Structure 1
Amino acid sequence: MRGEAGRWRWRAVAWAAAWVAATAWAQSADEPLPAVVVTGARSERAPNEVPATIDVLGGEALNPAEVQDIRDLVRDLPNVSVRRAAVRFSAVSPGGTGREGNAGFNIRGLEGNRVLLLVDGVRMPRELVSGVFGSAAFGRDYYDMGLIDRVEIQRGAASALYGSDGLAGIVAMQTIQPQALLQPGATLGGRAVMAYDEEDRHRRLGLTVAGRASEAWSWLGAVQLGRARELDNQGTVDAPNSTRTRPNPERMEQSAVLAKAVWQPDARQRQQFTVEHLERDGRVEALSGRSVTISSPLSVADLDGTLDMRRTRFSWDGRWRVDAAWADEMQVLLAWQQARAQESAIEFRPLQPAATQERERTVRYGENLWQASWQAQRSVSLGKDWGVRTVYGLDLTRTELDNLVTGRVPPSYERYPLKRFPDTVERNTALFVQTEWASEAFSVIPALRWDRVELDARRDALYPRDPASLRDDALSPKLGMIWRYAPGAQLYANWAAGFRAPGALQLNNFFENLAGAGFAYRTIPNPNLKPETSHTLELGWRRQGDTWQTEAVVFRGRYRDFIEDLVPVSGVGTASDPITYQAVNRDRVTLRGVEFKVRWSITPLTTLRVAYGLTKGTVDTTGRPLNSVNPPELVVGVEHRLNEAWTLGATARHVWAKRASDVDASGLSGGPFLPPSFTTLDVRARWRIDRDWQLSATVRNVADRKYWEWTNVRGLSATLPVIDAYSAPGRAVSVALTRTF
């Protein structure tokens, strides 16, 4: 009881500090809420015209002192998270954590490839995580935040407009535009940034320059360079072996370039040509993978890992004002994108024979994407009170996926090189239409999309199976309604269907070990795998006054044919009858929850923000909880402008404890580790030195609180002796100096 009372006292102190730090110091909060959103209708709409929950981040919300990567981006968004587990792995054995880095986004309990990621409308590479690749795992962090100017996060199914992978929601990023840096009448402008983050000793330099070559032509060029080390934690054991709880030493280097040319001869058309390239190279010294003593041929004396990632994109975005009977506006997007990732693990076993002392496994994964989309928009007045606006179009994508496993001294049951799935071509053809019937008080917004998905797997000598292919169709309807029952107030409802096609690895995953004594096993393709589908309902309320804005929403989703990757389907474990695993459509899942947001301008100089999110998830076929759901979270932030030069603020974040009743602990000896509740306090300051210079600083976790994020520890046992290795960073400072010209 005394410990619990102490925790509550700390929480009270944290909330008081958040309030005092911001109200006594000062800033006119963030910029006003953005005037438009794009993801909700595939074209610009006012937020109150979209029956969906969309977070829009831009301006100071992307301040480089506060946002260095995608993990920082969603730090203060309840029901949205990014998994980044501790980097702990072995060389060739399955398991381990952290090799995927910032793995990807979790929205309302769903993650991975169930969340659609876009940059300038172009689809980002998929996540590839499976024990059959050993410790290798490929996340979705193909971004450099220094190139990003705006982010929209839509929660809930978005397949009616965007198709496969929009089952859980969308994270859509927009790179910076030339006009964002060009002052009226100026022909040259730019921004330079220097930033440092103590959490991972991330050092970043960035330069973006934009120019206007003529009345019609403008251009932009950006270069971002970064270096980082391992992400800090609150472990204390610094031993160079498996008892270690301090982070494993890492070095990461990243570079990114962006080039744009924009031709806008008049107000009726705009053509944009974009080239983007990102590289990331890393090396980790996996001290935690070393044996405590070197006493047997299996003892490991040294273990290292490497990472190489590349993404290159060329795109053309054309927009026209056509003023025809069939459309007012038209847009065409053409894009080519190549992504390559490679991870290696190298270990040294000194008591092995000389020829087999050093083992290495290298896994390569690649995607080549061709994307084309055409859409048009038409608005028609239906008289005094009603109007109709229609968006319709065509989407085409073709993606080539490949993988390769090579190395030295493979396990006795394998020969390098090999492939875990055959080279696969995925094609998607889609037609979509959304119509908005609107009056001053009501909006009715039906939408429908038809998708044709084809996965063609090619025979390959490095893949010793008959590969499975897939062809399927999906209809994704949606119906949204808005009732503006009073000035500044509205109720809205949105029912939407979603779907996600299986991935190439899920369809044709192959691995075989028939040499295990009493435990022979394999994974095989599943030609009968079906797409996942969903039906979600969202009910919301919005209210806006002169100094405040409020939004509350309740949601419920039913998901069918959830794909579970490695499910035992037959076998007893002998060489003649091995235990056989497949990816199967196994579970039905229900997700439900609430979200609440408030923005209140207490004074012209002081703004308060509050956000709360709660999600519950259940696997209907077993009655057990869905472990990817994060615990409830409350965020309270205050900002105050002290004067024209100084802006100060603070954010308190409280996350509830993960309860045993909310965790599926089946197959986990010792029970699951359940992180306790925690409250953290961050404070920040921005100093506008003069018109061109700004210095920003943030202190995170001011009280140096020791805590664990559920998304990073789920699946770990409560008896794990190195659980501190998975703790979050302690107190850390980040700073950024920005020069505009």
Structure 2
Amino acid sequence: MKTRHVLLPALTYCLLVVPSAAGAEDAASAEQAAALDDVVVTISRREQLQSEAVAPISVVDRQAIEQGQTRDLEDLFEGLPGVTISGGPRRDALMPTIRGLTDGRVVVRIDGARQNLQIRHRGQTFLDPNLLQRVEVLRGPASTLFGSGAIGGVVDFRTRDPFQLLDGDAHFGGRALLGYQSNADEGIGAVTLAGRSGDVGLLGSVTRSQSDDFEDGDGVVEPFSAMDTVSGLLKASWRPQGPHRLTATYLDYADDSPSRVTADRPRGDAVRRLTRQRTGTVQYGFAPSGSGFWDLDATVYLTDLALDGRERDSGNRNESELRTTGLDVFNVSNLEWAGQLHQLSYGVELYRDEQIGRENGQPDPGFASSEQDTVGLFLQDRILLGEALAVTLGARFDRIRQSAERDGTETSRFNEWSPQATVSYRLLDGLRAYVSYAEAFRAPNLRELFVAGEHFPGNTYLPNPELEPERARNKELGLNWLRHRLWTADDRLRAQLSVFQNDIEDFLEQVVRGDGADSLSNTTRFENVEDARLRGVEVSVRYDQSRFYLGLNGSLLRGDDEGADEPLEGMPADFVRLYGAWKWPSQALEAGMRLDLVARQDRLPPTTDPDAPGPAPGYAETDLFLSAALHPALQLELAMDNVFDRRFRQATNLINNPGRNLRVQLAYRF
């Protein structure tokens, strides 16, 4: 497929239509959000109101990050419908899981930079939440906009910005933070400074965290769970009065901590692991006032993630590094054609992954040195058919080339299309229903294709360059409801409901074989299983008043290997979160609780892995929190996690969660 075959129809389509006032809907999003107390989201590559989105989107804003005293990915996503964290609770193994899919099946971005590392038993991305402004999570396949890996969904991290930290016309300001958590005796300190001169703003932030090993609800210490991390953020923003904007960001994370060779497991050799992640981005925007055609975003980025582990007993040293360089350019045009309003999102994404593995200074066949080049072109059109009806059509084409050099050069190539169609209808004021069909894919990653060497004594990895991409077909029905003044003049009700079925062909799994009579005896390799089917329901409801709020989040998921007629591994348990708080606005005080009700998870596939998670008992866990402004510039956060000191384990993990934990945090803003 030649590139021009995709570009020419798109360019012709754009030239045939005329810029119109359709852009007023998106241009006024921020004003509408303020008037309706709604949330503006951008994860779907265009600015829109959360209540108008035709996909389930969750937002974790700066207030939630601060109030939750968020320390890691598990804190960040805890309680969101359809979202869990796998691999924990050791922080160097945490991975976001959406609808039971993880390990490369979720696209993760930081300020537009892809985070593509995939190594079993390790985390995918590392950052300190104190450096974040907000996080948006899109649940469900999204390869039409984001290409390979977006089978489960997309996580979009946005770092802090100097203009968001500074109040009014202030030219200088900052924030200092001290925190403590009792369970692991963790101390946290952070300083953020920001300044601006004219149209230029600068921000610098650094966070330091140290902790001991944590204890579970039975008082059992989890070995090698201590942490010692340093994180830093530098950002420069140029925001002139005209149509241009430019931002340069550098994010750095370093963790020097003890762990296991297999960090997500309770057993295994002890290792001292240095994790270093650096992400640099330059983002340019062009959005002329009053223009319906131009709302351009371009991002150039480099992500470098290196893991350096030294085994304590043997002295063996394993080094794994993935460097991703990329360019992401897209534009949103609001146009009128044949009497209909069109909102077009279109662009190109280019990135290269370079993987390097060493064992004791020599090439590591378990993380073979290899590279991947990806070119993606996409076009999506949202057609507004009157005030109530909208149809969204889109497609993306990806060309992927993967290669590894050993005795000779091994190469794999994939060409993939990802179409999508959605119809949404406004049933009532504030109530929108949608039905969607989306195809998505995940190309085999470099390790799955080219891994070799010893897996464990007596068992050897086999490379499998014949792997096919996973291909998903998702059908979904959803409702978004935002209602104001339901019972009082100052209340608000927000609700989301999603019902979906995601059928995945050629699902990839690691297959470990023991003794047998064939050539695959005592080997491990990645293989395409027959078919997988994921079905689920997600719900989110929140009612707000000036004096209190109440909410409920919940999800139910079933995953099956259709070919083997058995459950898929790694499926989270059914859960419901109930939460609420009472507010005293005149005293700037808020106190509340969260209650998680999690069902038993015993739908597990048969396995010969002695460390595979067995059935996870159901549990109930209660948290309490208090937020108080001691002074206009001084904020106190208090929380007690796992109040009743329950011993529990999440179904996707092998290690128990921490027991009772007191959190306290003081933040001073100046």
TM-score range, shorter chain: 0.7 to 0.9
Note if 1:50 corresponds to 2:16: no
Task: Give the direction of change, closer, same or farther, for the CA distance of 1:323–1:598 in structure 2 (3 Å limit).
Answer: closer
Are 1:448 and 2:395 counterparts? yes
- Code of the aligned partner of 2:347: G
**C-alpha separation in 2, matches of 1:709 and 1:513:** 26
Report the Cα distance in structure 2 between the residues aligned to 1:228 and 1:261, rounded to whole angstroms.
32
| Aligned-pair CA distance for 1:197 | 2.0
Deviation sequence 1:657-701 (CA, Å, 0-9, x none):
123xx1213436899732222111111001101110000011111
Report the counterpart of residue 61 of structure 1 in structure 2: 64
Separation in structure 2 between the aligned mates of residue 671 and residue 378 of structure 1, nearest angstrom: 50
Q: For 1:544, give the aligned amino acid.
A: L
> In the TM superposition, what is the alpha-carbon distance from 1:419 to its structure 2 partner?
3.0
Contact 2:285 2:295 in 1 (8 A): yes
Which residue of structure 2 aligns with residue 38 of structure 1?
42
Larger radius of gyration: 1
Determine the structure 1 residue equivalent to 2:114: 123
Cα pair 2:117 2:305 within 8 Å, conserved: no
| Count of matched residue positions in the alignment of Structure 1 and Structure 2 | 623
Are 1:186 and 2:141 matched, yes or no? no
- Aligned-pair distance for 1:78? 3.4
**CA separation of 1:530/1:303 partners in 2, compared to 1, >3 Å: closer, same or farther?**
closer
* 1:485-524 equivalences in 2 (<5 Å): 485-512=427-454, 521-524=459-462
Going from structure 1 to structure 2, the CA distance change for 1:305 and 1:635 (only over 3 Å counts) comes to same
Match of 2:334 among 379, 395, 398: 379
CA distance in 2, matches of 1:192, 1:645: 20
Mapped to 2, the partners of 1:325 and 1:315 lie a distance apart of: 27
Q: CA deviation at 1:728?
A: 2.1
Partner of 1:320: 286
Of the candidates 589, 608, 626, which is equivalent to residue 550 of structure 2? Answer: 608
Closer/same/farther in 2, CA of residues 598 and 396 from structure 1, 3 Å limit: same
Amino acid at match of 2:206: V
1:664 and 2:594 are equivalent in the alignment:
no
> 1:383 Cα shift?
8.0
**Aligned-partner SS, 1:420:** helix
Question: Residues 555-634 of structure 1 correspond to what in structure 2 (within 5 A)?
Answer: 555-568=500-513, 572=517, 579-601=522-544, 603-634=545-576
The answer as to whether partners of 1:78 and 1:632 remain within 8 angstroms in 2 is: no
Q: Do the aligned partners of residues 422 and 667 (structure 1) sit closer, same or farther apart at CA in structure 2, a change above 3 Å counting? A: closer
What is aligned with 2:128? 144
Report how far residue 113 of structure 1 moved: 0.9
Partner of 1:535: 473
Aligned mates of 1:598, 1:281 — CA distance in 2: 40
8 Å contact from structure 1 (residues 65, 734) kept in 2: no
Instruction: Tell me the residue number matched to 2:489.
Output: none
Larger deviation, residues 322-331 vs 68-77:
322-331
The 8 Å contact of residues 246 and 284 in structure 2, kept in 1 or not, is answered as yes
Deviation at 1:253, TM superposition (A): 1.4
Distance in structure 2 (CA, Å) of the matches to 1:671 and 1:104: 17
Query: Is contact 2:455–2:524 with CA below 8 Å preserved after alignment?
Result: no
1:436 aligned partner: 382
In 1, are the aligned partners of 2:561 and 2:567 still within 8 Å (CA)? yes
Structure 1-normalised TM-score?
0.79
Q: SS of the residue aligned with 1:63?
A: helix
Task: Establish whether residue 681 from structure 1 lines up as the match of residue 622 from structure 2.
Answer: yes
Partner-residue secondary structure (3-state), 1:545: strand
The answer as to whether partners of 2:613 and 2:651 remain within 8 angstroms in 1 is no
Secondary structure of 2:643's match? coil
Tell me whether 1:651 sits opposite 2:594 in the alignment: yes
Moved more, 668-677 or 142-151: 668-677
Aligned counterpart for 2:203 among listed residues 203, 211, 220:
220
- Quick check: 1:587–1:620 contact (8 Å CA) kept in 2? yes
Task: Report the counterpart of residue 215 of structure 2 in structure 1.
Answer: 232
* 8 Å Cα contact 1:234-1:246 kept in structure 2: no
Q: Partners in 2 of 1:79 and 1:634 — Cα distance?
A: 11
- For 1:701 and 1:437, the matched residues in 2 are separated by 48
Cα deviation 1:402-425 (Å, max 9, x = unaligned): 111128xxxxxxxx6643243111
Question: What residue in structure 2 maps to residue 360 of structure 1?
Answer: 315
1:390 to 1:686, Cα distance in 2 relative to 1, 3 A:
same
Structure 2 SS opposite 1:72: helix
Task: Give unpaired runs (5+ residues) of structure 2.
Answer: 1-34, 485-491
Deviations 1:280-299 (CA, angstroms, capped at 9, x unpaired): 1112599x9xxxxxxxxxxx
Task: Give the drift of 1:513.
Answer: 8.9
Residue 552 in 1 paired to residue 497 in 2? yes
* 1:185, distance to aligned residue in structure 2 (A): 1.3
- SS of 2:448's partner is helix
Is residue 217–residue 645 contact of structure 2 (8 Å, CA) maintained in 1? no
Report deviation, 1:33.
Answer: 6.4
Q: How far apart are the structure 2 equivalents of 1:148 and 1:620?
A: 40
Q: Write out per-residue CA displacement over residues 535-564 of structure 1, whole angstroms, 9 at most, x where no aligned residue.
A: 011101222221212221111100011112
Alpha-carbon distance change, 346 to 170 in structure 1, aligned in 2, over 3 angstroms? same
The one of the two structures with greater contact order (alpha-carbon pairs below 8 A, sep at least 6) is 1
Q: Matches of 1:212 and 1:689 in 2, distance apart?
A: 28
The whole-number CA distance in structure 2 between the counterparts of 1:580 and 1:705 is 40
Q: CA deviation at 1:374?
A: 1.4
Tell me what 2:651 maps to: 710
The structure-2 alpha-carbon separation of the partners of 1:368 and 1:667, relative to structure 1 and needing over 3 Å to count, comes to: closer
1:339 is matched by which residue type in structure 2?
Answer: L
The offset of 1:84, in angstroms, is: 3.9
Identity, in percent, stands at 24
Instruction: Please point out which of 621, 630, 641 is paired with 1:700.
Output: 641
Q: 1:570 to 1:249 in 2, by over 3 A?
A: closer
Q: Report the Cα distance in structure 2 between the residues aligned to 1:570 and 1:285, rounded to whole angstroms.
A: 27
Cα distance in structure 2, aligned partners of 1:473 and 1:683: 51
1:620–1:511 CA distance, 2 compared to 1 (3 A): same
Structure 1 unaligned blocks of 5 or more: 1-30, 87-97, 130-136, 237-244, 289-299, 348-358, 408-415, 460-464, 714-725
Cα 1:665–1:226 shift into 2, 3 Å: same
**Which position in structure 1 is the counterpart of 2:159?**
175
| Cα deviation digits, residues 313-352 of structure 1 (max 9, x gap) | 22110001258999322221111222111122222xxxxx
Structure-2 separation of matches of 1:671 and 1:580: 18
Aligned partners of 1:189 and 1:670: how far apart in 2? 50
Cα distance in 2 between the residues matched to 1:119 and 1:418: 29
Decide whether the 8 Å contact of 2:495 with 2:541 is kept in 1: yes
Q: For residues 68 and 493 of structure 1, what CA distance do their matches in structure 2 show? A: 37
**Residue number in structure 2 paired with 1:405:** 359
- Counterpart AA for 2:642: N
The 8 Å contact of residues 357 and 363 in structure 2, kept in 1 or not, is answered as no
Are the structure 2 counterparts of residues 443 and 420 from structure 1 closer, same or farther at C-alpha, using a change threshold of 3 Å?
A: same
Residue in structure 2 matched with residue 165 of structure 1 by the alignment: 149
- Please give the secondary structure, in 2, of the residue aligned with 1:702: coil
TM-score by length of 2: 0.88
Return the alpha-carbon distance in structure 1 between the equivalents of residues 665 and 455 of structure 2.
52
Q: Is the 8 A contact 2:193 2:205 kept in 1?
A: yes
Residue deviations 1:99-157 (CA, integer Å, cap 9, x gap): x734301111111111111110101141202xxxxxxx431241111111100111111
Instruction: Please give the residue correspondences for 1:304-319 in structure 2 after superposition, counting only pairs within 5 Å.
Output: 304-319=270-285
Distance change >3 Å, CA 704–CA 217, structure 1 → 2: same
Matched, 1:76 2:79: yes
1:694 partner amino acid: Q
Q: Which residue of 2 aligns with 1:7?
A: none
* Distance in 2, Cα, partners of 1:259 & 1:230: 31
Question: Matches of 1:265 and 1:529 in 2, distance apart?
Answer: 50
CA distance in 2, matches of 1:480, 1:281: 46
Matched, 1:257 2:232: yes
- Map 1:464-503 onto structure 2 (within 5 A): 465-466=407-408, 468-503=410-445
- The answer on whether the counterparts of 1:572 and 1:579 sit within 8 Å (CA) in structure 2 is no
**Which segment is superposed worse, 666-675 or 539-548?**
666-675
Distance 1:599 1:513, change over 3 A: closer
